[in-house]
Amino acid sequence: MEISIEKVYSEFMDASEANPDFIVDFFKRVGIFKIDIKSFNNENELRLYIELTWQYIRALYKKDYYNEAIDFIEARLLIIENEINRLASPKLKDKWFLDLFFYYGASYYRLKNYLEATKIFKDLVNRDNKNDSYKEWLRISNNYRYKIYLWIILIVSAIIFTSSIILIRFFHFGRNILYLEDLALIGMIVSFLFEYFIDRPFRKRKKKG
């Protein structure tokens, strides 16, 4: 069964609703993404397909269907990029196209797969190095990769801190062990501070003037 991309696009744009539930149901109903499309007839057809793809993956992301969003975009990104090159249409690598990578990386991020998220956001920043939002997502996803080490430092520091207090108060160890207590306390403080800066919400852009 052949489906006209132009017709689906027109029907979608004429729809009165734009919430994630409607969008997901719409594309499942029209079945455009159930077809294994390998090539496009022209640049305009590819452009409409990219926009429709963006609408669907964004709706999946908004509904917290992160695994489905990842599977969906992985099945289409290479085909889309190959067709952009085949049709010699580099201008189609615009915000619509780049945001496919954004929702791809953000979905991995929400699933706490920070390694994959960092790889995707790094590639995205290389594609558009002036986009501050992409850079911020890269920074935060990269920082989250190191949270496991922070927790290790925090746990070890807490054990040392507690042990030093017990050794001093109940076993009358020399006061020199306080150096370990101070070191453990510093480790906990550093871990908490770094955790705060990682978890801090994205900074809002300062308004000019």
DSSP for 141-184, please give it. HHHHTTHHHHHHHHHHHHHHHHHHHHHHHHH---GGGHHHHHHH
- Which residue, among 120, 95, 94, 92, has the nearest Cα to 106 in the 3D structure? 120
The model's pTM is 0.73
Q: What CATH number corresponds to the domain at position 15?
A: 1.25.40.10
Q: Domain of 41?
A: 5-144
93: pLDDT strictly greater than 80: yes
Residues 138, 95 share a domain: yes
Percent of the chain residues past pLDDT 70, beyond the cut: 74
**181 in the same domain as 130:** no
Q: How far apart are CA 115 and CA 108, in angstroms?
A: 9
Tell me whether residue 209 is in a domain.
no
Q: Which of 8-17, 36-45, 51-60, 159-168 has the highest mean pLDDT?
A: 51-60
Residues 111 and 71 in one domain: yes
Least confident of 19-28, 92-101, 158-167: 158-167
The 10s digit of each residue's pLDDT in 98-138 is 999 999 999 999 998 988 999 999 999 999 999 999 999 99
The count of C-alpha atoms lying within 13 angstroms of the C-alpha of 209, restricted to the half-sphere facing its C-beta, is 0
pLDDT band at 40 (very low <50, low <70, confident <90, very high): very high
CA distances from 22 to 19, 35, 54, 127 (A): 6, 20, 15, 32
The pLDDT-based confidence of 206 (bands split at 50, 70, 90) is very low
Residue 174 has pLDDT above 90, yes or no: no
